Amino acid sequence: MKIFNPATEELIQEMAEDDKLSVEKKYEDLHAAQPAWRRIPLKERITILQRFSELLEENLEQIALILTQEIGKPLQQSRNEIKGGIARIQWLTGNAEKYLSDEIMKSEKGLEEKISYEPLGVICNISAWNYPYLVGINVFVPALLAGNAVMYKPSEYAVLTGLAIQDLLQQSGVHENIFKVAVGGKEVGELLLQLPFDGYFFTGSYQTGKYIYEKVAPKMVPCQCELGGKDPLYVTDDISDVKAVAAATADGAFYNNGQSCCSVERIYVHEKKYDQYVDEFVNEVKSYKAGLPLEEGVYIGPLTRKEQLNTIEQQVKDAVEKGAQIKTGGKKIEGKGYYFEPTVLTDVNHTMSVMKEESFGPVIGIMKVKDDEEAVQLMRDTEYGLTASVYGNSKERAEKILEQIDAGTGYWNCCDRVSAALPWGGRKHSGIGVTLSHAGLRAFTRPKAYHLKG
Ligand code: NAD
């Protein structure tokens, strides 16, 4: 397999992919080693994962560089991602004892009723490239804390990061037969689906997620899918600082080049604030510095995958043909690297793919609405259900709107954020199951009921 730098199109490294025999061997090693890992006291597993987070901190610059080189994320955003991962590990390790220890539900003379949270066994994590630390940590850290062994398949676009994670986990004390990386793309993913894992945890697109969910179903083991989104954001008429709201919401749309599952993907603005908001938003986007992701101050790097340039180009073309206006951007940036100009479209509507299909790139459509009712109707008009956001001065008004949206997360005066203490998961085509929070810690366990008499 060849790994290219998306900013320069240079070959970074070539390496051998896994094959049927090698993944089978890795699975057998994991399966044989897992019972011993499970028997290690939880406190010790917590200490090991805390050491992993210290190693992420100690190696921050080096691993941020690897991440930037292989996926093209601006260096500061790579550092931010790893720091965000460290904060998540702190929450997960800090709460593991509370949520993974046995719970005595009843204790009276002659009878104890107890719940024990047993690990699933050997789990398979097939992952995405856009936030390999964050989406990886959501899965393999709680899985390891709960006593599982993990086969981790990083995306073919984030293999070097996957191997760096493996190296640091081993240095922190996770045995080499408890966490293993499967190297390769779709074909290696397919091989993993043929093995008898005790749970599958997938992060990626709806198309792949649906396929994996169907394939795993006959195994009768848990299969969680964290998938894409078309996340809406509504700006009401009672915002006071339009410039600040425009800047914050543009960041929600363009951070990591729009390649976040919870990127703001479509914006609705109350007609009373529409013109002013669009002006401020476009000014903000025009101020973004595009360039080589290793240069400090660059906010827009290349897209990670070359094919995505065509998806964005097609969405813009389709929108313009149906009457949209390009306020800024609109085309590929010529030269080396997979660059697309940050693009703002107005006069958009829901016949356009840019308002219905995941863009996963630096393009956003802004649409005028007359009231909250119209905003809600448009926000709900999607097959996805990851996040939704409302900006305005009234918490009550925002909550009333958000409760009508069928999404896993609601935001008021913020967007594109994740908290380790809260469940993270999508509805409808955005997925099934949650990671993070107490529910995400327990997602890697099976509760066993004990009725103890005597
Ligand atoms: P993808 O679906 O193309 O690939 C994801 C993973 O699946 C990769 O490791 C890939 O090698 C593997 N894969 C592909 N085909 C397979 C098959 N037939 N069998 C087994 N494995 C297979 O997605 P991507 O491009 O890596 O990630 C982008 C998508 O992920 C976007 O839709 C984004 O919104 C979503 N995402 C969601 C979340 C979330 O938390 N909800 C987080 C990050 C990314």
Cα angle 349, 355, 357 (rounded to 5 degrees) comes to 145
Domain membership of residue 418 (yes or no) is: no
153 Cβ closer than 6 Å to some ligand 1 atom:
yes
Residue 187 Cα to ligand 1 midpoint, Å, equals 13
Instruction: Tell me if 236 sits within 8 A of 397, measured CB to CB.
Output: yes
Residues 215 and 250 in one domain: no
Contact 228, 264 (CB under 8 A): no
Q: What is the pLDDT of residue 356?
A: 98
Judge whether 417 lies within some domain.
no
Q: Which residues pair with 368 in a beta bridge?
A: 269
Q: Tell me which residue has tokens 């949520």.
A: 99
Indicate if 174 and 247 belong to the same structural domain. Answer: no
Answer yes or no: do 265 and 124 share one domain.
no
Q: Is 128 in the pocket of ligand 1 (CB under 6 A)?
A: yes
User: Quick one: which of 128, 8, 6 has its CA closest to 70?
Assistant: 6
* Residues 347-367 pLDDT 10s: 999 999 999 999 999 999 999
Q: How many CB atoms lie within 10 A of CB 355?
A: 26
Q: For residue 436, is it within any domain? A: yes
How far apart CA 280 and CA 62 sit, in angstroms, is: 37
User: pTM for this structure?
Assistant: 0.97
Whichever domain contains 184, its CATH number is 3.40.605.10
Average pLDDT, whole number, for the chain?
98
Residue 420 lies in a domain: no
What are the residue numbers of the active site? 226, 261
Say if 145 falls within a structural domain.
yes
135 lines ligand 1 (CB under 6 A): yes
Structurally, the chain folds into a number of domains equal to: 2
Examine the domain organization and report whether 150 and 249 are in the same domain. no
Q: How far is the CA of 133 from the centre of ligand 1 (A)?
A: 14
Nearest to 130 by CA among 226, 249, 266, 233: 226
Q: How far apart are CA 180 and CA 144, in angstroms?
A: 12
In a domain, 323, yes or no: yes
* Residues 210 and 245 grouped into a single domain: no
pLDDT at position 108 is: 96
**211 and 280 co-located in one domain:** no
Report the alpha-carbon distance of residue 165 to residue 120 in Å, rounded.
22
Same domain flag for 201 and 325: no
In a domain, 421, yes or no: no
118 lies in the same domain as 94: yes
Mutate which of 192, 200, 207, 208 for ligand 1 pocket (most atoms within 8 A of beta carbon) = 208
340 burial type by CB count under 10 A (0-12 exposed, 13-18 middle, 19+ buried): buried
Q: What is the four-CA torsion angle of 135, 136, 137, 143, rounded to 10 degrees?
A: 120
Do 119 and 267 sit in the same domain of this protein?
Answer: no
Tell how far the Cα of 203 is from the centroid of ligand 1, in angstroms.
5
The rounded distance, in Å, linking the Cα atoms of 326 and 344 is 6
Provide the pLDDT for residue 159: 98
Position 419 in a domain: no
241 in the same domain as 220: no
pLDDT means per 10 residues in the chain (454 residues)?
A: 97 97 98 98 98 98 98 98 98 98 97 98 98 98 99 98 98 98 98 98 98 98 98 97 98 98 98 98 98 96 97 98 98 97 98 98 98 98 98 98 98 98 98 98 98 96
Distance 327 CA to ligand 1 centre (A): 31
Q: Is there an atom of ligand 1 within 6 Å of 429 CB?
A: no
Domain that holds residue 187: 2-227+426-453
Assess whether 333 and 440 both reside in one domain: no
Residue 389's domain is classified under what CATH number? 3.40.309.10
For ligand 1, atom 23, which residue shows the shortest CA distance? 204
Q: Do residues 251 and 164 both lie within one domain?
A: no
Atom of ligand 1 nearest to the CA of 425: 41
